[in-house]
Amino acid sequence: MNHTYETDRLYLKVLGRYDARMVLDFYSRNAKEFALYEPLKEEDAKNLNYHAMMLDYELQYFQKNTLLRLYIFEKENPFQIIGTLSFRNISLSFYKSAILGYKMDKDFRRKGYMKEAITKGMEIMDVELHLHRVEAIVLPSNEASIHLLEGLDFQREGLIRDKVFLNGKWEDHYLYSHIFENND
């Protein structure tokens, strides 16, 4: 896998510790919105050392081909993160699978950027890693994310009860999957 990818409008980059300030800025701008969908504590979202540590962790697992976190930048502004997508728990063994996660800056939603970025990410999972399956989970109330996944040919497989602890309670999530037909 490469450290940088390109789409029509975007750069998708693997970042390192030296980029922690950009990541801090991204999470700080969006901490309130992201808290609705992920269990990241607000004090961590606004902590530079936390982001540096997470970037080290991500790079370590990237080098082992078990995680790919790509930060999203507009080509017009390559120094401001506008989103991120990740493929975690990448298994190149008999599972040939990964779990997709993503988030977009509140000011850059509904422009098709995430669809463009995930399309490229899925191409990487298919062509470079030859995966068979990618999964994603989504809150049943997150209609935008459901629409995004379904627009990318993910199929809803069912409801996972009490999947993630968010805002003081366990939340159900839908399980979605995408199967690459030609990777047996």
DSSP letters along the chain, please?
A: --SEEE-SSEEEE---GGGHHHHHHHHHHHHHHHTTTS---HHHHT-HHHHHHHHHHHHHHHHTTS-EEEEEEETTEEEEEEEEEEEEEEE-SSS-EEEEEEEE-GGGTTSSHHHHHHHHHHHIIIIIT--SEEEEEE-TT-HHHHHHHHHTT-EEEEEEEEEEEETTEEEEEEEEEEE-TT--
Note whether residue 177 is domain-resident.
no
Least reliable range by pLDDT among 34-48, 52-66, 67-81: 34-48
Least reliable range by pLDDT among 41-45, 76-80, 115-119, 163-167: 41-45
The tens digit of pLDDT for each residue in 10-35 reads: 999 999 999 999 999 999 999 888 87
pLDDT, position 177: 98
The tens digit of pLDDT for each residue in 63-72 reads: 999 999 999 9
Split into its structural domains, the chain has a count of 1
pLDDT, position 184: 60
pLDDT, position 33: 84
Confidence of residue 183 (pLDDT cuts 50, 70, 90): low
Note whether residue 90 is domain-resident.
yes
Mean pLDDT, the chain, integer: 93
Note whether residue 58 is domain-resident.
yes
Note whether residue 79 is domain-resident.
yes
Note whether residue 178 is domain-resident.
no
- In the sheet with 4-6, reading across from the earlier edge strand, the strands are 4-6, 10-13, 68-74, 77-91, 97-104, 133-138, 169-179, 155-166
Average pLDDT over residues 34-51: 78
- In percent, how much of the chain has pLDDT > 90? 83
**Which domain does 96 fall in, by range?**
4-132
Note whether residue 162 is domain-resident.
no
Confidence of residue 155 (pLDDT cuts 50, 70, 90): very high
Pick from 73, 58, 67: nearest CA to 100: 67
The CATH number for 117's domain is 3.40.630.30
pLDDT, position 182: 74
Average pLDDT over residues 43-67: 91
Note whether residue 88 is domain-resident.
yes
pLDDT, position 142: 93
pLDDT, position 47: 87
Note whether residue 150 is domain-resident.
no
